[in-house]
Amino acid sequence: MKIYAAKDYNDLSRKAANIISAQVILKPNAVLGLATGSTPVGAYKQMIEWHKKGDLDFSRVRSVNLDEYKGLSGDHDQSYRYFMNHNLFDHVNIDKANTNVPNGLAEDPAAECRRYDQVIRDMGGIDLQLLGIGGNGHIGFNEPCDVFEKGTHVVTLTEETRKSNARFFSSIDEVPTHALTMGIQGIMSAGKILLLASGEAKAKAVYDSCFGPVVPGVPASVLQLHRDVIVIADEAALTLVRENEKWGGQIYDN
Ligand code: F6R
């Protein structure tokens, strides 16, 4: 695991966009594992800019998103399909037929989860998985629990996650209670993982995930077992790592 300090959110976004772009340049038909939430928005904006300048071609890129709210259709403005269209896909030359987000309206969610894992297998796995992190250490919607759930599955969202995501809805009652999420095996089988963290609210999750014990109570801690993880975090998110002399020196500064 390599941890890079970003000066601020813009710097974090540029660094992340550079790494994702490098993946697309090295393998034009790369499979990108993508995330929603506020953290990756700046990186998506930067990639859109580079695409518009003619520097980045998504025509052969394939993508698979981490998760989707159960019960929301793809055209609901808080669905993750809508988010991806709005924040990236509508502005670059990706073929939407090559983009995948779990179907939040599937009549048989368990079958949808199995289908989603098969989609990932059929694409030959994920080359680069982009991740944000929850304040409770969740990745995708793998919430803290007793076991690492392997495959794509339906999850009950914690109150903490629903409260945190309520900022995107008009009230907390509108935040769905369940989601479909890629499992830990899907995430861990990606060739490369890029985790982004911004803001002090993520400081404990970053510290525990990078240096604490590997336990399902902190889902992102499992990333310590992956051989190619890059963490890009701003100073606020690195506060606890910096404070701990033992680990503070593990950061790549610039
Ligand atoms: C989003 C996702 C979540 C978010 C996490 C952080 O697809 O899977 O794990 O990455 O909740 O969200 P933000 O970036 O809004 O702080």
Question: Over the stretch 9-28, which tens digit does the pLDDT of each residue have?
Answer: 999 999 999 999 999 999 99
Query: How many whole angstroms separate alpha carbon 221 and alpha carbon 214?
Result: 5
> Is residue 32 within 8 Å of 126, Cβ to Cβ?
yes
Whether the CB of 34 sits within 6 Å of ligand 1:
no
The yes-or-no verdict on residue 84 having pLDDT over 90 is yes
Which ligand 1 atom is the nearest neighbour of the CA of 80?
A: 7
Query: How many whole angstroms separate alpha carbon 156 and alpha carbon 44?
Result: 28
In the β-sheet with 192-197, what is the strand arrangement from edge to edge? 99-100, 62-65, 31-34, 128-131, 192-197, 229-234, 2-6, 251-252
Instruction: For the chain, give the percent of residues with pLDDT over 90.
Output: 93
Span from the CA of 95 to the centroid of ligand 1 (angstroms): 24
User: Which pLDDT band holds residue 249 (cuts at 50, 70, 90)?
Assistant: confident
Phi, psi dihedral angles at 93 (to 5 degrees): -90, 40
> Is residue 171 within 8 Å of 162, Cβ to Cβ?
no
Phi, psi dihedral angles at 142 (to 5 degrees): -80, 100
Structure tokens, 169: 């809805």
Which ligand 1 atom is the nearest neighbour of the CA of 139?
A: 9
Average pLDDT of the chain?
96
The yes-or-no verdict on residue 85 having pLDDT over 90 is yes
User: Which pLDDT band holds residue 247 (cuts at 50, 70, 90)?
Assistant: confident
Which ligand 1 atom is the nearest neighbour of the CA of 198?
A: 16
Span from the CA of 134 to the centroid of ligand 1 (angstroms): 6
CB within 8 Å of 141: residues ≥ 6 apart? 66, 67, 155, 157, 161, 179, 180, 181
pLDDT for 245 equals 79
Residue nearest to atom 3 of ligand 1 (CA): 140
Residues tagged active-site: 67, 136, 138, 143
